[in-house]
Structure 1
Amino acid sequence: MNDTIRALGLPDPDAVFPNEYGTSCYIKNVVKAPNIQIGDYTYYDDPADPAGFEQNNVLFNYPEFGDRLIIGKFCSIAAGTRFIMGPANHRISSVSTYPFQVFGGAWAALAPPHLDQLPRKGDIVVGSDVWIGRESVILPGVHIGDGAIIAARSVVAKDVPPYTVAGGNPVRVLKQRFPEDLVRLLLAWRWWDLPPEELAEAVPLLCDPDLDAVRSAIRQRLEK
C-alpha cells in the first residue's frame, strides 16, 4: 500500500506532520491509548501543539472505564475541539453527586468504587469526512454521521445525522447539506474507503460543486 501511495505521489497517511505548515497532524500516528481508534488522513489542526491531541483534547480518558473514541477517515478537527469521555460524569442516581471515593481516607473505604457508579453513555463515534469547527465540545456517547459539519463552539450532546450541518449549545441540526438521493449515493459509495489509485482519480469529483454531475458520476461508479 505504501509503495502505491509513493508511486502516485499521494500524502503519506503514516506521516505525523503531512505538510510544511506544521500545524496539522495526522493524529492516528501520535495517539497511544488503546481505546482510541482514528482513521487514515484525519487531522487535528492547532498552531500550539497539534501532536498533543490525546493529552490536550481527549479529556477524562480512562480506558479501564470501557468507553471508546472512534473517529473515521478524512476528518478535519479544528483547534480547541474537546472530546469528553465517560469518566467525566458524576453519579446522578443518589442524593449527592460528590465523588467521595476519589479523595481517599475513610471516604474511600465507605463509598462504592467511583467508576462503577458513573452513568455509561457508550462510545463517541465520529464518521468519515466530518468537519468539526473550532472549540467544539463532543460529549460522551454521541454519534456524528459521515459527512457532517459541526459549527464552531458547538456542544454536541446528541447524535448528528450524516451530511447535515449542526451547531449550537446544545447542538441542533441546522440544515441537510444535500438532497436525500445524493446523501444515499454518498453513503453507498464510501469514497474514503477507495484504494489509493481510485481515490486519487476521484479527487476532482470530490471537489466539484456541480452536484448534478457528481450525482451522475457516483451512480456510474456504483453500477460498475
Structure 2
Amino acid sequence: MYGPDPDNPTPLPGVDQLVFLKNFITRDSISVGDYTYYDDVEHATEFETRNVLYHYDFVGDRLVIGKYCSLATGCTFLMNGANHPLSSFSTFPFAIFQNGWGDGDVAQLAEQHRGDTVVGNDVWIGRDACILPGVKIGDGAIIGAKAVVSKDVPPYTVVVGNPAKAVRQRFDDKTVTKLLEISWWDWSPEKITTNLHMITNADLDGMINAV
C-alpha cells in the first residue's frame, strides 16, 4: 500500500469529522490538492459554503489550496467580495444591486480586488484562523489558531496573532531553500511512502539523495 486513497472522502474509518477536502469541492473557482484535509466535528463536508466567504462569481477571484495541507475547525477564507469601495464618499456597494444603481457595473468594487488567495503545500492552518483576500501563504507555513492573516506569509514561517505576525522560521534559510527545491509533495505516493521516514525525521540529506 502507498498511503490512503485521496479520492476517499473520509480516510479515517469511523471518523466522519476529518475529510479529504477536494472531494467536497464543486466550484471551479476553488481548487484543493490531494490529501489536504479539513477537520470539523459538525460541518466537515460544508467547507465550501461555510468557510469560504464572500466568494461571488461576478468578482472572479479564486481560492487555491495545495496538497498535504491541514485545516483546523473554523478556519475561514474571506474572498474579495468582502471588500468595499474606498475612493467614493460611500463604502456602500451600490452597483451590485442594479435597478439604476450602476446596473451591475462593479468596476468601482474592483479597485479593492487583491487577486487570488493561494495556500501552498504542507501548510497547517490553526483553528478559527482567518485568511483575508489575496493573501499568499508559502509552502510549509504554519498559521496559528485565531490568527488574522492580512499579508503574504513566506514559506516555512510561523505566524500568529491579529494581525498575524511572523514569530519564527521553522528551519534555516539553506534548509528552506532545499526543501522548496525538493518539493516532496509533488512526489508520487509510492516515492513518498518509500521515503516517509526521511520526511518525518527531518533527514534532509536522505531526501536530497532520494531526489
Equivalent runs, 1:140-151 vs 2, <5 Å: 140-151=133-144
Q: Aligned to 1:64, what secondary structure does the other structure show?
A: coil
- Structure-to-structure mapping, 1:1-224, within 5 angstroms: 8-20=1-13, 21-103=15-97, 108-111=99-102, 113=104, 115-118=106-109, 119-208=112-201, 211=202, 214-222=203-211
Distance in 1 between residues matched to 2:47 and 2:5, nearest whole Å: 19
Query: How far apart, in 2, do the equivalents of 1:160 and 1:36 lie?
Result: 20
CA contact (8 A) 1:87 1:115 kept: no
The one-letter amino acid of 1:193's match is D
Counterpart in the other structure of 1:3: none
Q: How far does residue 195 in structure 1 lie from its aligned partner after superposition?
A: 1.1
Identity across aligned pairs (percent)? 46
Q: 1 CA distance for matches of 2:3 and 2:36? A: 15
Q: Report if aligned partners of 1:86, 1:120 keep a CA contact under 8 Å in 2.
A: yes
Q: Given residue 165 of structure 2, which amino acid in structure 1 is its aligned partner?
A: R
What residue identity is the alignment partner of 1:205? M
Distance 1:218 1:10 in 2: 18
Give 1:70's aligned amino acid. V
Mapped contact 1:18–1:25 kept (Cα < 8 A): yes
Which one has the largest radius of gyration?
Answer: 1
Task: Pick closer, same or farther for the CA change 1:149–1:135 going to 2, 3 Å.
Answer: same
Root-mean-square deviation (CA), in Å? 1.4
The SS at the match of 2:158 is: strand
The 3-state SS of whatever aligns with 1:178 is coil
Query: What's the offset of the Cα at 1:101?
Result: 3.7
Paired AA for residue 88 in structure 1? A
Aligned-pair distance for 1:102?
4.1
Which amino acid in 1 is paired with 2:143?
I
Q: Which is helix-richer, 1 or 2?
A: 1
* TM-score, normalised via structure 1 length: 0.88
The TM-score normalised by the length of structure 2 is 0.94
DSSP 3-state at the match of 1:205: helix
The 4+ residue runs of structure 1 with deviation greater than 4 A are none
The alignment covers a number of residue pairs equal to 208
Structure 2 CA distance for aligned equivalents of residues 87 and 32 of structure 1:
19
Check whether the contact 1:82–1:138 (CA below 8 A) recurs between aligned residues.
yes
